[in-house]
Every structure is written in structure tokens, then in C-alpha cells.
């Protein structure tokens, strides 16, 4: 069994940690494939960077909407500052670590042996890829439910 098949086999466990069930588990699998893995393995030629790109935008939009609705009267500059704090890499790392899913991330040998250099960035990217995958699988309501069901306390603590 290759690593991609291993993720598919562990999908129910991962979905339980995410509090989201995928209709298309290929999206779930893709979210956990880092570029470094693709560079060193031939069992896939796709990685999660496009999902990460999409998830980054969705995360920013959902947080912006949340701040707009729940902080009426707050000036735009302050809202922008709060949004940037809630979507910055260190916050995304906190969110993904709360899910306890980083062990499923497929990395190339070089990244695995990197002693943590760049790890924060990789974990932040993983969260964005998961959000992108959930958005494609279940739409904006699913992405919003995932974000706020899992991270409302963390978001409130940052605020």
C-alpha cells in the first residue's frame, strides 16, 4: 500500500478529527500531499498548493465576514488588523495543531528531516488546503461550519 492509499484508508479517522465527512475523499487526500512528497514519489503528481491558494482566500473572507458582523462599529483599519492576526501563519498553525492531523501530512524525505525549519509554514498551508478541500466538497456553508465549529474558542481568544 502506498502513502496515498494509506490516507484513504485512514479517511474516517481524519474526518472525525476534522468534524467533516467528505463526499469526495480524493479532495481530502490531496489536501495532505505536500509538494516535497510529489517531488520524491511517483504514486501521485498532484499536491495541495492549489487547494492552499483557494483555502487562503476562503479563510480570509470568512474571517472578514465574521468580524464585520460581530464587531459592528469597529473601524476598517482595526478590522483589517484583527483579520490579519486571525489568518496569520501562527494562528493557522494553532488551529491545525488543535485538530491533531499533522501526522497524516505526506512530506518528502528532505522536509521530514528538516528539523522543523519551515514547519510552521507547512502546517499553516495544510490548514488552508483543508479549508479549500472542504469548500470544493461541500461549498461555502461547509467551510464556514468547519471553521467556526472547530475554532471559535481559539478565534475568540485571539480577539
Enzyme catalytic residues: 56, 128
89 and 59 Cβ atoms separated by less than 8 Å: no
Q: Which is it for the CA torsion 92, 98, 102, 104, positive or negative?
A: negative
- Report the alpha-carbon distance of residue 23 to residue 67 in Å, rounded: 30
All three cell numbers of 72:
459592528
C-alpha Rg value of the chain to the nearest Å: 16
Amino acid at each position: 500500500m502506498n502513502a496515498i492509499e494509506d490516507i484513504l484508508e485512514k479517511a474516517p479517522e481524519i474526518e472525525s478529527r476534522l468534524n467533516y465527512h467528505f463526499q469526495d475523499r480524493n479532495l481530502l487526500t490531496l489536501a495532505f500531499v505536500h509538494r516535497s512528497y510529489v517531488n520524491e514519489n511517483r504514486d501521485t503528481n498532484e499536491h495541495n498548493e492549489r487547494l492552499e491558494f483557494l483555502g487562503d482566500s476562503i479563510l480570509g473572507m470568512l474571517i472578514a465576514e465574521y468580524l464585520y458582523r460581530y464587531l459592528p462599529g469597529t473601524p476598517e483599519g482595526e478590522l483589517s488588523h484583527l483579520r490579519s492576526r486571525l489568518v496569520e501563519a501562527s494562528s493557522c498553525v494553532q488551529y491545525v495543531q488543535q485538530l491533531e492531523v499533522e501526522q497524516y501530512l505526506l512530506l518528502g524525505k528532505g522536509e521530514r528531516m528538516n528539523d522543523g525549519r519551515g514547519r510552521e509554514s507547512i502546517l499553516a498551508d495544510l490548514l488552508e488546503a483543508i479549508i479549500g478541500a472542504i469548500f470544493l466538497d461541500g461549498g461555502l456553508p461547509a467551510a464556514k461550519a468547519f471553521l467556526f465549529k472547530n475554532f471559535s474558542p481559539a478565534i475568540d481568544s485571539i480577539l
